Structure 1
Amino acid sequence: MAVELDVFVGNTTIMDEEVYQLWLDGYTVNDAVKVRMEGGVLEECETSADVLLSDTMDQYRTFQMCERLLHSPAKLANQLLFQIPPHRQAILIERYYAFDDAFVREVLGKKLSKGTKKDLDDISAKTTVTLKSCRRQFDNFKRVLKVVEELKGPLVENIRQHFLLSDKLARDYAAIVFFANNRFETGKRKLQYLTFQDFAFCAGQLINNWTVGAVDNMVEDMDVDLDKEFLQELKELKILITDKDLLDQHKSQLKSSTSVLIYLLFPFTSNLSRGLVNIAAKLTNTKDVRDFFIDLVEKFIEPCRSDRWTAADMRLYLTHYTNSAHILDTFKHQVVWDRYMGVIKSCIFKMYHD
């Protein structure tokens, strides 16, 4: 019996971006076929369900064979098995390392260990991200962490160069690495309103200002470990609330502010001042570093919300509060103060929302 076949031979690997996304999202072949059919691909391509199934299976096999190369993206450009144009390679890599905000929010700050990986079943159920996708994302986090922890130099740049990611995605991975290394608490109920992007922004502020690399770009772990010498110096800021003369001067400067708000609410803002200074003084302790975001919420954000401050009120207060210390003649820690309050202000501005 004669059989006619139409055969096409080429050297460029054809990859459907929609199918690739379905594969990344953890869909089975049959589920992916169903999604494609519901999208009207049969009518669009004038083909049959059997051909669609065959095409989907073929592309899934290609993605699975490419996956080992995606673990080390630089190898993708140098291999000869798959002829993939550079722009297509960039898409494959970026999407492979992309992650769901709902998933990363659940693991942010946790140790990227086997113990956490055992919880992926529960995280998958909670976030509705498929288990297969959760595992891919978790393994990507671990892979990036393992590579960059052995490298010198800026964290974001190392991630971008070794994994060929966009600047935005590299910065997000830097935040994940930074949180995993310092084990910041992010899971408490009062922190649930904060998104991953809120935390990622704050991580960027901490990396750029409070790490060893903020003052010395030639040291190891420059963007991962907080500057211990700086954390020790923060204890000196306690003089702002323990030295009576300095405290009175600070009060006087705030009261002389043109802001009616600050003058009227001064008893309340005195409590805020003590809270911010006490946070600084305790950052030499590992547990207090981990509770940094909880402390910001409990000692500043929640009191301001309770007193019905708007974001503009809070911004005005922090601006005047920071600047007023510059006029204190006997305050000898201006550099430390500015380095501390610069980050505190930026983080609170980002975190002060519903």
Structure 2
Amino acid sequence: MAVELDVFVGNTIIMSEEVYQLWLDGYTVNDAVKVRMEGGVLDEFDAKVDVVLSDTMDQYRTFQMCERLLHSPTKLANQLLFQIPPHRQATLIERYYAFDDVFVREVLGKKLSKGTKKDLDDISAKTGVMLKSCRRQFDNFKRVFKVVEELKGPLVENIRQHFLLSDKLARDYAAIVFFANNRFETGKRKLQYLTFQDLAFCAGQLINNWTVGAVDNMVEDMDVDLDKDFLQELKELKVLITDKDLLDQHKRYKHLCLDGKLSTLFGKQRLLMRWRLISRGLVNIATKLTNTKDVRDFFIDLVEKFIEPCRSDHWTAADMKLYLTHYTNSAHILDTFKYQVVWDRYMGVIKSCIFKMYHD
């Protein structure tokens, strides 16, 4: 009896995004097969279990062989071993470098070293992210950090060009690199309410306004290191709480702006007392940023010296924005205040960060 068999031969790799995600998430082949079966793959393709197992194993082998190329994404487009369409390459890269916010929140600000990597077992148990996936994400953070730390030019653009990531993901990695380089403290209990995206937004504000690259785009480490000259200039802002004439003017102009707004809600006397504490706190944060430890405690200080006092008085986010806006603008009217540019550069970031951080 004659049997006809149609055979198609091609070299374009066919990959299932579902299986790829299971591989990225750290599932074993057998566990991945179970997930696929529970998802109805047998009914969808009228397949048997052994076929699903074989298909899953084959795709896992392909992903493992591609992984070394994913470590250097620019090589993926130029290699000849795997015939992968450009749109599929972009998907593979973007999803390989994607990360779980709950995981990155645990390692944010920590040194990307062997010591931190040893803690991944505990982080995996705490976050529910599989250990294999934790290791992949951590190694990606470390890889990106190593590649860009010696490069000149904008941090986000360097990441985007060398790792072919989307703008959003490149900016998230820039935040991770920035936090790792400056070792900001993010693990304290009172900071746990802040999400990774909260802190990533703040990192973007610091990068765009307080780094060397904010004023000179031709220097090394332009978006990684804070501008030391600017941090030194911040010491001059202490006159706002030490010069009696400036202090009185600042207080008077600010209360003229807020009278009938916040004062009707909290009372003038209470607002005056709160103003003294907050003003002293914000200026003291500025004057101490030449100290490495105080830089690391930047977010703790914002919470302790501004956010917590305002919460204790039951300020709404709108109240807080109104207060900070008038507090900042009132310095513009001071007769002998000589540090307006420094003040605006400082308070622009402070306002943006606090606006983002002031939530439950």
Q: In the aligned structure 1, how far is the partner of 2:5 from the partner of 2:299?
A: 65
Task: Name 1:351's counterpart in structure 2.
Answer: 357
1:145 to 2:145 alignment: yes
| Alignment size in residue pairs | 353
Which residues of 2 match residues 209-220 of structure 1 at below 5 A? Answer: 209-220=209-220
Give the letter for the 1:117 counterpart: K
Q: In the aligned structure 1, how far is the partner of 2:194 from the partner of 2:259?
A: 30
Which residues of 2 match residues 331-350 of structure 1 at below 5 A? Answer: 331-350=337-356
Q: Describe the superposition over 1:137-193 as per-residue Cα deviations: whole angstroms up to 9, x where unpaired.
A: 000000000000111000000000000000000000000000000000000000000
Q: Offset of 1:92 from its aligned partner?
A: 0.2
1:266 to 2:272 alignment: yes
Task: Name 2:115's counterpart in structure 1.
Answer: 115
Contact 2:149 2:221 in 1 (8 A): yes
Q: Describe the superposition over 1:76-112 as per-residue Cα deviations: whole angstroms up to 9, x where unpaired.
A: 0000011100000000000000000000000000000
Q: Describe the superposition over 1:188-245 as per-residue Cα deviations: whole angstroms up to 9, x where unpaired.
A: 0000000000000000000000000000000000000000000000000000000001
TM-score of the aligned structures, taking structure 2 as reference length: 0.96
Contact 1:254 1:321 in 2 (8 A): yes
Which of 313, 320, 327 is matched with 1:314 structurally? 320
Give the letter for the 1:268 counterpart: R
1:17 to 2:23 alignment: no
1:129 to 2:103 alignment: no
Q: In the aligned structure 2, how far is the partner of 1:185 from the partner of 1:298?
A: 13
Q: Secondary structure at the match of 1:78?
A: coil
Task: Name 1:67's counterpart in structure 2.
Answer: 67
Q: Which runs of 5+ in 2 are unaligned?
A: none
Contact 2:258 2:323 in 1 (8 A): no
Task: Name 2:254's counterpart in structure 1.
Answer: 254
Q: Offset of 1:4 from its aligned partner?
A: 9.9
Contact 1:206 1:343 in 2 (8 A): yes
Contact 2:110 2:183 in 1 (8 A): yes
Task: Name 1:330's counterpart in structure 2.
Answer: 336
- Assess, with a 3 A threshold, how the Cα gap between structure 1 residues 5 and 19 changes in structure 2: closer, same or farther: farther
Contact 1:262 1:269 in 2 (8 A): no
Task: Name 1:98's counterpart in structure 2.
Answer: 98
Q: Which runs of 4+ in 1 moved over 4 A?
A: 3-7
Task: Name 2:76's counterpart in structure 1.
Answer: 76
Which of 274, 277, 281 is matched with 2:283 structurally? 277
Task: Name 1:163's counterpart in structure 2.
Answer: 163
Q: Offset of 1:256 from its aligned partner?
A: 1.4
Contact 1:254 1:262 in 2 (8 A): no
Q: In the aligned structure 2, how far is the partner of 1:9 from the partner of 1:93?
A: 26
- Assess, with a 3 A threshold, how the Cα gap between structure 1 residues 302 and 85 changes in structure 2: closer, same or farther: same
Q: Secondary structure at the match of 1:256?
A: helix
Q: In the aligned structure 1, how far is the partner of 2:161 from the partner of 2:6?
A: 43
Give the letter for the 2:294 counterpart: D
Q: In the aligned structure 1, how far is the partner of 2:344 from the partner of 2:301?
A: 19
Q: Secondary structure at the match of 2:335?
A: coil
- Assess, with a 3 A threshold, how the Cα gap between structure 1 residues 258 and 348 changes in structure 2: closer, same or farther: closer
1:286 to 2:292 alignment: yes
Q: CA RMSD for the aligned pairs? A: 1.4
Contact 1:255 1:262 in 2 (8 A): no
Give the letter for the 1:92 counterpart: L
Task: Name 1:55's counterpart in structure 2.
Answer: 55
Q: Offset of 1:260 from its aligned partner?
A: 2.4
Task: Name 2:182's counterpart in structure 1.
Answer: 182
Q: Which runs of 5+ in 1 are unaligned?
A: none
Q: Secondary structure at the match of 1:236?
A: helix
Identity %: 88
Give the letter for the 1:123 counterpart: I
Q: In the aligned structure 2, how far is the partner of 1:122 from the partner of 1:189?
A: 17
Task: Name 2:241's counterpart in structure 1.
Answer: 241
Task: Name 1:194's counterpart in structure 2.
Answer: 194
Q: In the aligned structure 2, how far is the partner of 1:53 from the partner of 1:171?
A: 38
Q: In the aligned structure 1, how far is the partner of 2:29 from the partner of 2:150?
A: 38
Q: In the aligned structure 2, how far is the partner of 1:49 from the partner of 1:262?
A: 68
Q: In the aligned structure 1, how far is the partner of 2:102 from the partner of 2:261?
A: 38
Q: Offset of 1:123 from its aligned partner?
A: 0.2
TM-score of the aligned structures, taking structure 1 as reference length: 0.98
Contact 2:109 2:179 in 1 (8 A): yes
Q: In the aligned structure 1, how far is the partner of 2:174 from the partner of 2:248?
A: 42
Q: In the aligned structure 2, how far is the partner of 1:66 from the partner of 1:5?
A: 32
